[in-house]
Structure 1
Amino acid sequence: MYTFEKEILKREMLVPVCSYEYKVIPLSDSAKTAFALFNKRNGELERNRADLHKKYLKLDEFPFAGQRTFYYEDPQESEETRKVMVKELAIMNMADRWVPGISHHEIKKGTGWAPLIEGTDFVVEIGEKIVHEKPKNLTFDDIKAL
């Protein structure tokens, strides 16, 4: 399948083929603090870092959790390639929402924080493949029955 065919199917979003859910898990203390400060938004900081983590570290909301849907089935594309694409989308979503310490080469936003490195500071956990049912093609007999 050519790249332009994938792009057309992605933009049209007619029939979802499969999806992968993802969740970002902080490993280091600095990643936990950055993610908690992203959720805090404004106001006074907590005096204790543990209280800040307990109160504001919510990882079940966007951009720390989400889903990537593929609208094409390419037999030449491996499962690992799709998981890399899901990982890239997760990092790009966090960079686009100004999560402290996260940057992506396609998003030209800087946060002013020390960069968080995937693998040492945080991990993107990808769920199992969710296969969507394809709608059956309508025939003239089906249209008459409507």
Structure 2
Amino acid sequence: MYYSGNILVIEIAKNEIGNKGGEKYWRWYGFNQRVNWCAIFLSWCANESGTINDTIPRFSLCTDGVKWYKDHSKWKNKSYIPQTGDIIFFDWNGDGHVQHVGIVEKVENDKVYTIEGNSKDEVRNKNYSLTNKSIYGYGSVN
């Protein structure tokens, strides 16, 4: 089942805004203790929408998500203008290694608006300039 732009995934993610600690997501994935859960959150949302492994893989490590999008020829570099539902990856340290991931809610006025799990240990809305140096690249859903 495919939803253009992952609209259902975004709606599910929106309903989780404010959830702290991420326990329901990492327990769903199979972990018995707290782990970094930004990727797991996206996998959970995709699973809830019935689209897991269609547009968003089941992954717990950001690096595995990047690999999945590259292996499926859906990887876009950071100069790409993302679309609603695309997956955004971040390299906070500027060291060429991805550390965080979220989903693109929209792009407006040269800003990308996201929903992210494990942002200060909760699900949050965020926004960034499209030229933000921490953006590593995107997984395209189209």
TM-score by length of 2: 0.24
Please tell me whether Structure 1 or Structure 2 has the larger radius of gyration of its CA atoms: 1
Q: Choose between structure 1 and 2: higher helix proportion.
A: 1
- Bigger RCO (CA 8 Å, 6+ sep): 1
TM-score, length of structure 1 as denominator length:
0.23
